Chains A and B, each alone.
Chain A
Amino acid sequence: MEIIMAIAAGILTMCAVYLILSKSILRIIIGTGLLSHAAHLIVITMGGLKTGAAPVLEEGVTKYTDPLPQALVLTAIVISFGVTAFFLVLAYRAYQELGTDNIEEMKGTDTND
Chain B
Amino acid sequence: MLHLAILLPLLASLFIPFLYKQFRSVHTGWFVLLVPLTLVIYFSQYISQTMAGETVTQSMQWIPSLGINFVAYLDGLGLLFALLITGIGTLVVLYSIYYLDAKKEALHNFYVYLLLFMTAMLGIVLSDNMIVLYMFWEMTSISSFLLIGYWYERERSRYGAQKSMLITVFGGLSMLGGISILSLLSGSFSIRESFSTLSTYSDDPLFLVALVLFLLAAFTKSAQFPFHIWLPDAMEAPTPVSAYLHSATMVKAGLYLVARMSPIFAETPLWFYLVSGVGMFTLFWGSLNAVKQVDLKAILAYSTISQLGLIMSLLGLGAAALQVEALPDSLYTIATVAAVFHLINHATFKGSLFMMAGIVDHETGTRDLRKLGGLSQLMPVTFTIAMIGTLSMAGVPPFNGFLSKEMFLTGVNQVSESGLFHLETFGFLFPLFAVVGSIFTFVYSLLIVYRTFLGPKQHDKLPKKPHEAPLGMLVSPIFLASLVILIGLFPNLLSNTLIRPAVEAILPQVLAAGGEIDVHIKLWHGFNTELLFTFIIITVGFLLFKTFPKWQSLYHRMPKSFSLNHQYDGLLRRGENVSTGIHDAVMTGYMRSYLVYIFGFIVLLVLSSLFFFDAFAFDVDPLSSISTYEIILVLVLVSSALSITFARSRLTSIILLGVAGYTVALFFVLFRAPDLALTQLVIETVSVALFLLVFYHMPEISRKEERIKFKLGNAAISILVGLSVTLVALASLSQRSFASIAKYYIDNVADLAAGGNMVNVILVDFRGFDTLFEISVLAIAGLGIYAMIHFRKTGGIDK
Q: Which of B642, B667, B721 has a CB less than 8 Å from the CB of A13?
A: B721
Q: Which of A9, A10, A52, A95 has a CB less than 8 Å from the CB of B698?
A: A95
Q: Is there an interface contact between A10 and B725, defined as CB atoms closer than 8 Å?
A: yes
Docked CA distance A111–B679 (Å): 46
- Asked if B255 is an interface residue, CB under 8 A from chain A, the answer is no
Docked CA distance A66–B749 (Å): 13
- Asked if B512 is an interface residue, CB under 8 A from chain A, the answer is no
- Asked if B185 is an interface residue, CB under 8 A from chain A, the answer is no
Most chain-A CB neighbours within 10 Å: which of B719, B725, B778? Answer: B725
Minimum CB–CB distance for A111 against chain B, Å? 14
Q: Is there an interface contact between A27 and B708, defined as CB atoms closer than 8 Å?
A: yes
Q: Which of A4, A70, A93 has a CB less than 8 Å from the CB of B759?
A: A70
Docked CA distance A2–B726 (Å): 11
In the complex, chain B residues 744-799 whose Cβ is within 8 Å of any chain A Cβ? 745-746, 749-750, 755-759, 762-763, 767, 770-771, 774, 777-778, 780-782, 784-785, 788-789, 793, 796-797
CB contact under 8 A between A70 and B596, given known A21-B717, A88-B690: no
Q: Is there an interface contact between A78 and B778, defined as CB atoms closer than 8 Å?
A: yes
Q: Which of A49, A83, A88 has a CB less than 8 Å from the CB of B671?
A: A49
- Residue-wise, chain A 10-23 has the 8 Å CB interface mask toward B (1 for contact) of 11111111111111
CB contact under 8 A between A37 and B694, given known A67-B745, A75-B774, A101-B701: no
CB contact under 8 A between A68 and B740, given known A9-B725, A50-B671, A107-B590: yes
Q: Is there an interface contact between B714 and A91, defined as CB atoms closer than 8 Å?
A: no
Most chain-A CB neighbours within 10 Å: which of B626, B671, B762, B771? Answer: B671
A-B contact pairs, 23 of them (CB 8 A): A1-B630, A2-B733, A3-B620, A10-B723, A11-B638, A21-B599, A22-B714, A26-B698, A34-B641, A38-B725, A45-B729, A46-B729, A56-B674, A57-B757, A58-B756, A70-B759, A74-B763, A75-B763, A79-B777, A79-B778, A81-B686, A89-B690, A97-B797
Q: Is there an interface contact between B714 and A18, defined as CB atoms closer than 8 Å?
A: yes
- Residue-wise, chain A 72-113 has the 8 Å CB interface mask toward B (1 for contact) of 011101110111111011111101110001011001100001
Q: Is there an interface contact between B771 and A75, defined as CB atoms closer than 8 Å?
A: yes
Most chain-A CB neighbours within 10 Å: which of B623, B657, B759, B785? Answer: B759
Q: What are the residues of chain B within 8 A of A90 when measuring CB–CB? A: 788
- Asked if B582 is an interface residue, CB under 8 A from chain A, the answer is no
Q: Is there an interface contact between A22 and B708, defined as CB atoms closer than 8 Å?
A: yes
Minimum CB–CB distance for B694 against chain A, Å? 5
Q: Is there an interface contact between B595 and A20, defined as CB atoms closer than 8 Å?
A: yes
Docked CA distance A67–B620 (Å): 23
Minimum CB–CB distance for B403 against chain A, Å? 67
Seen from chain A, the residues whose Cβ lies within 8 Å of a Cβ on chain B are 1-24, 26-27, 29-30, 33-34, 37-38, 40-42, 44-58, 64-68, 70-71, 73-75, 77-79, 81-86, 88-93, 95-97, 101, 103-104, 107-108, 113
Docked CA distance A86–B518 (Å): 87
- Asked if B675 is an interface residue, CB under 8 A from chain A, the answer is yes
Docked CA distance A103–B644 (Å): 19
Minimum CB–CB distance for A14 against chain B, Å? 3
Q: Which of A50, A70, A95, A101 has a CB less than 8 Å from the CB of B625?
A: A50
Q: Is there an interface contact between A41 and B664, defined as CB atoms closer than 8 Å?
A: yes
In the complex, chain B residues 705-736 whose Cβ is within 8 Å of any chain A Cβ? 708, 711, 714-715, 717-719, 721-723, 725-727, 729-730, 732-733
CB contact under 8 A between A2 and B623, given known A21-B592, A55-B672, A86-B784: yes
- Residue-wise, chain B 621-650 has the 8 Å CB interface mask toward A (1 for contact) of 011111000110010011001101100001
Q: Is there an interface contact between B774 and A11, defined as CB atoms closer than 8 Å?
A: no
Main secondary structure of the interface of B (DSSP, over half): helix
Seen from chain B, the residues whose Cβ lies within 8 Å of a Cβ on chain A are 589-592, 595-596, 599, 620, 622-626, 630-631, 634, 637-638, 641-642, 644-645, 650, 653-654, 657, 660-661, 664, 667-668, 670-676, 679-680, 683, 686-687, 690-691, 693-695, 697-698, 701, 708, 711, 714-715, 717-719, 721-723, 725-727, 729-730, 732-733, 740-742, 745-746, 749-750, 755-759, 762-763, 767, 770-771, 774, 777-778, 780-782, 784-785, 788-789, 793, 796-797
CB contact under 8 A between A15 and B673, given known A37-B660, A82-B778, A107-B589: no
In the complex, which residue of chain A has the Cβ closest to the Cβ of B588? A107
CB contact under 8 A between A30 and B729, given known A41-B667, A77-B680: no
Minimum CB–CB distance for B693 against chain A, Å? 8
Q: Is there an interface contact between B746 and A42, defined as CB atoms closer than 8 Å?
A: no
Q: Is there an interface contact between B695 and A26, defined as CB atoms closer than 8 Å?
A: yes
Q: Is there an interface contact between B676 and A73, defined as CB atoms closer than 8 Å?
A: yes
Q: Is there an interface contact between B729 and A11, defined as CB atoms closer than 8 Å?
A: no
Q: What are the residues of chain B within 8 A of A91 when measuring CB–CB? A: 694
Q: What are the residues of chain A within 8 A of B694 when measuring CB–CB? A: 26, 88-89, 91-92
CB contact under 8 A between A30 and B653, given known A8-B634, A42-B729, A85-B781: yes
Q: Is there an interface contact between B637 and A8, defined as CB atoms closer than 8 Å?
A: yes
Q: What are the residues of chain A within 8 A of B683 when measuring CB–CB? A: 77-78, 81
Q: Is there an interface contact between B591 and A10, defined as CB atoms closer than 8 Å?
A: no
Q: What are the residues of chain B within 8 A of A6 when measuring CB–CB? A: 725-726, 729-730, 733
Q: Which of B626, B637, B670 has a CB less than 8 Å from the CB of A12?
A: B637
Q: Is there an interface contact between B626 and A1, defined as CB atoms closer than 8 Å?
A: yes
Q: What are the residues of chain B within 8 A of A7 when measuring CB–CB? A: 726
CB contact under 8 A between A85 and B725, given known A44-B671, A55-B758, A57-B749: no
CB contact under 8 A between A70 and B661, given known A14-B721, A27-B708, A47-B740: no
Q: Which of B653, B695, B777 has a CB less than 8 Å from the CB of A78?
A: B777
A-B contacts besides A21-B596, A24-B650, 7 pairs, CB < 8 Å: A3-B623, A17-B717, A19-B645, A50-B624, A56-B758, A64-B746, A79-B778
Docked CA distance A30–B118 (Å): 68
Q: What are the residues of chain A within 8 A of B698 when measuring CB–CB? A: 26, 92, 95, 101
Q: Is there an interface contact between A4 and B630, defined as CB atoms closer than 8 Å?
A: yes
